[in-house]
Structure 1
Amino acid sequence: MLAECVLLACVAFFGLPVPAVAAPPASDEFTTSGGPLRIFFIGHGSLRFEYDGKEIYVDPFGQVGDYGTMPPADLVLLTHEHGDHLDPESIAKIAGPETAIVLTGPCLEKLGRGTVMENGQQTTAAGIPVAAVPAYNIKHMRSPGTPFHPKGRGNGYVLTFGDLRVYVAGDTENIPEMANLKNIDIAFLPMNLPYTMTPEMAADAAQMFKPKVLYPYHYGETDPARLVTLLKDSGIDVRVRELR
């Protein structure tokens, strides 16, 4: 703090330009039976959860956050192997030898370390219960018959923080398996076209499992206000944050 005051005094005295300081990611805080859960919205598909003295990261991506300034990770979750979700350089900045990494088989092939979870499997990593759920395309295709995200290759994750359940969908569409999700308090659903969902598809997905709070994320150029309008009478609290 003293060094900061001295710097500002020098800036004022000598008429120097004020140095740019990167603002920390915005965050929301939730109450759980195990203490507060703080969610940091790093950007794109990248999230950070702070809970019970632990730091949990999802899909670290260096183009949307400076991971060299962030706390060391206790747990890193990777949804799939695409470069904007699996960024080895960013992972190296937060993950040490003791960091738990949960990922898919294709992610393991690229990263070379971690514990693979298949769709439907459950585990506890860094003290956090984690369930891997399907994430895939039905409609949007890279070429005829070749979806952007094939079934069985990627994961969404349901994380349990005390009595609070958080669903991070990964890159997916409104797939039938979402109807099996139960007691979801907070959900993150993607809307980056053409790779995942339109607002209408995301609204349909949300209606399947009725989260209490819904964040559209990884939404690219898609207007998240459209999702707010579609769900305005649903009882779902749709919160828009800067998660392009």
Structure 2
Amino acid sequence: MRIAHLGHAAVLVETDAARILIDPGNLADGWHGLSDLDAVLVTHQHPDHLDPAALPALLAANPQARVYLEPSILQQVQAGDLPPLGDAQALAPDEQTTVGDVLVTAAGGRHAIIHRDIPAIGNVGYVLRSEGEPTFFHPGDAYDTVPSGVDVLAVPAYGPWAALKETIDFVRAVGALEGFPIHDELLNDRGRGLVSGRVDAMTGTRVVDLRGGTTHQF
């Protein structure tokens, strides 16, 4: 399994038979211009995970790509609150679909609480499994779902809903062999280093730096 972090929450996952983009948001542009995508997955409606201005152009350039959304996003598209996103389908918690040789399972259901006065929204993480490959988990914006058998974890490094103590406990609970920071565009380099260093030192997960769009073979 080959994985590239394309900025903030955007992650490109490739196997021999699938090319899957997760969370193309507006705090990063490393995903702009991608081609040959088989699927686009979106964890929740916030624009740093779904860029309503740029995503339609990406989908137009990848007409073969299937689009899977957290269910409330599809409701927004159907209501006209978001632009059309191709032939998009909702993927609710615990539902599955197959993309090439990858089994995609939606996990979770709720976005982490930012503040009690801010309405809660949906969030689904995605577990990607392929025979003979590591199992990968992208949690979106939540720490409350811990799938079993995860080998590689995308670790949200910072957000207005997160604290380092929660990040460490989440990574420990998942127990992946390796991980890499995402959701990091609100941090400077010293902040990224602090979070990565603490997670690497205080959990059993080896932290890999994928900044700059580097593709890593897991």
TM range (shorter): 0.7 to 0.9
Deviation (angstroms), 1:212 = 0.7
In 1, Cα distance between equivalents of 2:211 and 2:64: 31
Counterparts of 1:49-88 in structure 2, within 5 Å, are: 49-61=13-25, 63-65=27-29, 67-88=31-52
In 2, Cα distance between equivalents of 1:215 and 1:137: 20
Counterparts of 1:1-244 in structure 2, within 5 Å, are: 37-61=1-25, 63-65=27-29, 67-95=31-59, 96-108=62-74, 109=77, 110-112=82-84, 113-134=87-108, 136-137=110-111, 139-141=113-115, 143-144=116-117, 146-147=118-119, 149-150=120-121, 153-163=122-132, 164-172=134-142, 174-175=143-144, 177-178=145-146, 181-194=147-160, 196-219=161-184, 220-221=186-187, 223-224=191-192, 225-242=194-211
Q: 1:19 aligns to what?
A: none
Q: Cα RMSD (Å) of the superposition?
A: 2.4
* Shift in alpha-carbon separation, 1:138–1:233, aligned structure 2, 3 A: closer
Counterpart of 2:183, as a letter, is H
- Highest relative contact order (Cα 8 Å, sep 6+), 1 or 2? 2
Give the gaps of 5 or more residues in structure 2.
Answer: 213-218
Cα-to-partner distance string for 1:86-105 (whole Å, 9 max, x where unaligned):
12443334333321111122
Kindly indicate whether the alpha-carbon contact (under 8 Å) linking 1:56 and 1:74 is maintained by their aligned counterparts in 2: yes
Give the gaps of 5 or more residues in structure 1.
Answer: 1-36
Kindly indicate whether the alpha-carbon contact (under 8 Å) linking 2:135 and 2:151 is maintained by their aligned counterparts in 1: yes
Kindly indicate whether the alpha-carbon contact (under 8 Å) linking 1:213 and 1:236 is maintained by their aligned counterparts in 2: yes
Dislocated runs of 4+, deviation >6 Å: none
TM-score, normalised via structure 1 length: 0.71
Structure number with greater Rg is 1
Cα-to-partner distance string for 1:124-165 (whole Å, 9 max, x where unaligned):
134420110115355531x53x35x53xx1111001133311
Q: Percent identity?
A: 22
Kindly indicate whether the alpha-carbon contact (under 8 Å) linking 1:199 and 1:227 is maintained by their aligned counterparts in 2: no
Give 3-state SS (helix, strand or coil) of 1:52's partner.
coil
- Structure 1 range deviating more: 204-213 or 44-53: 44-53
Number of residue pairs the alignment of both structures matches: 197
Kindly indicate whether the alpha-carbon contact (under 8 Å) linking 1:130 and 1:159 is maintained by their aligned counterparts in 2: yes
